[in-house]
């Protein structure tokens, strides 16, 4: 009997191997500093934790509506309206099991096997790997520093034909770059004009920074904007994982056009029944003023950590840095040190206990010469990691 299907033969998510090695290092040495994890180091906001306790005591926690409980869909719609100044009908909000669940349902709803979907490189690997598993043809646009690591209309115009879909992320993982609002609007209009579904990954919204004096980008940081400010034919993906500090609660959402709502309903009712009930009821409290105040405090800490890395990494000889406009990553070129970022990061972990993510997950061409550092942890951990790296043989090759 065959052990696996052809569609299952996608690349592994290599950062998970880093986490495994870091866990083993912590067990044997107890000195790990993890700057590899793409998640906050803080718990859910206090109002969410209170709500979860009340839900456990007061709810049966059975199945909910497939597309999410009404209270949560209303809270998400109101949040987008307040943040982006757009009118969102709760009926267009689809709650999912993490943003990963939203992407899978969306890909199934919108694309057939053989359809072409365009993504940026470097970019989040699960886009291309999930699409590939579903039989789609993935085209990667090589997005370097000349376009601030983001796709442009000019790149789309060079394609032989309009694709079925385009995925953008702003702020992006791994680079942290934000798409200029005018460029995002232009991308949305191009997609509408060419019958291309624009999927805008906005899960890092809320984690945005101004430009410090030491920033590597000369042009300043643009504020984030939403694809729905221009096109209601696009899809916006959100999540409680990043800004809301709730990765393990596995709750995401999508803003989808009217015609797509029943399609997602059919698929989700068969594939997942509903998102986690306890997470839904508790997450309503994530959008309160008390929660937002707590979460903005985390962002202020991220900003301190970001500025620290952008200042100190060049002093360690790591000068090729993507503009960290938002999210909580610094994406760095280390081609002067290695052409095997996986081995280099493994050596650094063994020598210093500092865990970083090799770039091969994010860039299938240049990733062996890049790495990603997360600054979502404490400032003390970032400072200690830099001190250990400064003493490391890995930076003196």
DSSP E strand boundaries for 69-110: 93-96
Residue 2 in this model has a pLDDT that exceeds 80 = no
Residue 222 in this model has a pLDDT that exceeds 60 = no
Query: 324, 328, 150: which is closest to 221 by C-alpha?
Result: 324
Mean pLDDT, residues 148-174: 97
Mean pLDDT, residues 180-191: 97
DSSP-based three-state secondary structure for 322: coil
Instruction: Calculate what percentage of the chain has a pLDDT beyond 70.
Output: 96
Mean pLDDT, residues 182-205: 98
Lowest mean pLDDT among 38-47, 215-224, 333-342, 359-368: 215-224
DSSP-based three-state secondary structure for 93: strand
Q: Who wins on pLDDT, 10 or 114?
A: 114
Give me the pLDDT at residue 397, please: 64
Give me the pLDDT at residue 1, please: 65
Indicate the average pLDDT of the chain. Answer: 93
Sheet architecture: strand order including 137-142: 93-96, 252-255, 235-239, 197-201, 165-169, 116-121, 137-142
Instruction: Calculate what percentage of the chain has a pLDDT beyond 90.
Output: 86
Residue 214 in this model has a pLDDT that exceeds 70 = no
Mean pLDDT, residues 264-282: 97
Query: Torsions phi, psi of 94, nearest 5?
Result: -115, 115
Lowest mean pLDDT among 108-117, 219-228, 287-296, 333-342: 219-228
Give me the pLDDT at residue 20, please: 87
Residue 221 in this model has a pLDDT that exceeds 90 = no
* CA 352/CA 348 separation, integer angstroms: 6
Q: Who wins on pLDDT, 91 or 19?
A: 91
Give me the pLDDT at residue 218, please: 36
Mean pLDDT, residues 108-125: 98
Lowest mean pLDDT among 2-11, 121-130, 174-183: 2-11
Residue 212 in this model has a pLDDT that exceeds 50 = no
Q: Say if CB 381 and CB 353 are below 8 A apart.
A: no
Q: Rounded to a whole number, what is the largest CA-CA distance in the chain?
A: 61
Query: 199 has which bridge partners?
Result: 167, 235
Residue 316 in this model has a pLDDT that exceeds 80 = yes
The number of angstroms, rounded, from the C-alpha of 250 to the middle of its chain's C-alpha atoms is 14
* CA 321/CA 341 separation, integer angstroms: 15
Phi-psi region of 327 (alpha: psi -120 to 50; beta: other; left: phi over 0): left
Residue 213 in this model has a pLDDT that exceeds 50 = no
* CA 270/CA 110 separation, integer angstroms: 17
Residue 270 in this model has a pLDDT that exceeds 60 = yes
Query: 373 has which bridge partners?
Result: 330
Give me the pLDDT at residue 219, please: 40
DSSP-based three-state secondary structure for 332: strand
Give me the pLDDT at residue 7, please: 83
């Amino acid at each position: 009997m065959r052990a696996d299907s052809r569609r299952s033969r996608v690349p592994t998510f290599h950062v998970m191997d880093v986490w495994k090695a870091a866990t083993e290092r912590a067990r044997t040495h107890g000195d790990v500093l993890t700057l590899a994890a793409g998640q906050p180091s803080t718990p859910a906001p206090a109002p969410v934790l209170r709500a979860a306790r009340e839900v456990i005591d007061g709810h049966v926690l059975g199945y909910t509506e497939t597309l999410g409980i009404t209270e949560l869909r209303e809270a998400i719609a109101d949040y987008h309206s307040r943040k982006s100044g757009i009118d969102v009908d709760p009926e267009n909000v689809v709650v999912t099991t993490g943003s990963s669940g939203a992407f899978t349902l969306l890909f199934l709803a919108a694309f057939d096997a053989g359809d072409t979907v365009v993504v940026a490189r470097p970019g989040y690997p699960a886009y291309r790997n999930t699409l590939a598993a579903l039989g789609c043809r993935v085209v990667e646009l090589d997005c370097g520093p000349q376009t601030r690591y983001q796709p442009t209309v000019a790149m789309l115009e060079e394609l032989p034909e309009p694709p079925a879909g385009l995925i953008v992320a702003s702020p992006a993982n791994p680079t942290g770059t934000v798409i200029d609002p005018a460029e995002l609007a232009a991308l949305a209009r191009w997609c509408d004009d060419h019958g291309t579904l624009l999927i805008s990954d906005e899960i890092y919204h809320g984690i945005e920074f101004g430009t410090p004096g030491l920033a590597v980008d000369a042009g300043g940081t643009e504020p984030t904007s939403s694809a729905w400010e221009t096109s209601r034919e696009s899809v916006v993906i959100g999540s409680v994982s990043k800004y809301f500090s709730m990765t393990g609660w596995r709750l995401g959402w999508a803003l989808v056009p009217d015609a797509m709502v029943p399609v997602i309903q059919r698929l989700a009712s068969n594939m997942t029944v509903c998102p986690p009930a306890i997470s839904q009821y508790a997450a309503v409290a994530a959008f309160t003023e008390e929660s937002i105040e707590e979460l903005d405090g985390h962002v202020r800490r991220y900003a301190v950590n970001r500025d620290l890395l952008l200042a100190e990494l060049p002093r360690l000889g790591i000068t090729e840095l993507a503009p960290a406009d938002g999210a909580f990553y610094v994406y760095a070129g280390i081609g002067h040190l290695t052409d095997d970022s996986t081995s280099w990061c493994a050596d650094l972990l063994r020598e210093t206990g500092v865990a970083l993510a090799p770039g091969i997950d994010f860039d299938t061409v240049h990733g062996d010469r890049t790495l990603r550092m997360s600054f979502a942890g404490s400032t003390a951990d970032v400072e200690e990691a830099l001190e250990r790296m400064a003493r490391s043989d890995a930076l003196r090759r």
